[in-house]
Amino acid sequence: MGTEDYNELTSNFDLLSTLEMAKIMNEEDKKVPLAIERVLPEIARAIDIIVESFKKGGRLFYVGAGTSGRLGILDAAECPPTFSVDPEMVQGIIAGGEKAITSAVEYAEDDTEQGREEIRKRGVSENDVVVGITASGTTPFVVSALEEAYNRGAKTILITNNYNSPVKDFVDVAIEIDTGPEVIAGSTRLKAGTSQKLVLNMFSTISMAKLGKVYGNIMVDVKPTNQKLINRAVKIIKKVTETTEDIAIERLKACNMNVKEAIVSIIGNLSPAESKRLLEESNYYLRSALEKLGKNSVVEP
């Protein structure tokens, strides 16, 4: 496996100065986006599958062990505050359970029965998508989870950093990111992990954008649950509507802290109830709702 090979460029790594070590790690990290670029068609196909699942009320599951599992949990955890989705919509599953999020539980990745059980107990079905994340492409916990999901009719996607994974026989899309040997041989928390994080960013960001949770490049479905996010929500409302801060705050509160409803309320001079109804009629796509009010594009800075 390429991820287990020795990197000739770092064979004297322990003899380098601190700055030289940092430079060579930076040079190796630059290779990651280029490796991802080669598999963009597969990434796009995977995202389209995820969006189709969401539109049918399905869920997205990330399954991994170690670094890969933690990255899946991280991406899933960011979806509710960023896009105001139900926590059940995107879920992370890690070998070893919650303990493995903060502590290494290395033996858990070999537990094939637990991989299957994690899929069973969540009732994964044909409307769902399961993404297996494994640098090697052979992690037993991930392989068994994908196989169980496939047998239950779910769509399955593989993210790996090696070729010809045995799991390819039961996945709908295999994303094989050739990041090559690591700076420290076999330490896939480095380039392999970075590539996985970037792909998961694409999965969640693009799928949510295609569901209408982004307007232009604006996070209009942000959930204002702390002062920073409240400030962001007010800034968004001001930008899109060109209103004052006082009006933005007043409408946001009147609309139960829903940014989209506040925007529609201001632009359409509608009550909170009328704004909510218009958005419901537009499947909560802000752009569609604003077009019905005669507004066609994001306000420029």
Residues with active-site annotation: 78, 109
> What is the DSSP pairing of strand 90-94 with strand 173-176?
unpaired
Q: Which of 61, 68, 56, 37 is nearest to 204 (CA)?
A: 61
Long-range contacts of 103-111 (CB under 8 A, 24+ apart): 104/66, 106/66, 108/65, 108/141, 109/65, 109/66, 109/139, 109/140, 109/141, 109/142, 110/140, 110/141, 111/140, 111/141
Written as one string, the DSSP assignment of 273-295 is HHHHHHHHHTTT-HHHHHHHTT-
Sign of CA dihedral 159, 160, 164, 168: negative
What are 113's two structure tokens? Answer: 């029965």
Cα 82 to Cα 53: distance, rounded to the nearest angstrom: 20
Strands (DSSP E) along the chain, which ranges?
A: 60-64, 90-94, 129-133, 155-160, 173-176
Contact 141, 114 (CB under 8 A): yes
How distant, in Å, are the alpha carbons of 44, 214, 223, 275 from that of 252? Answer: 35, 18, 11, 12
Strand order of the β-sheet with 60-64 is: 90-94, 60-64, 129-133, 155-160, 173-176
Q: How many angstroms separate the CA atoms of 72 and 201, rounded?
A: 10
Q: Which two tokens stand for residue 173?
A: 């899309």
How far apart are the C-alpha atoms of 65 and 74, rounded to whole Å? 13
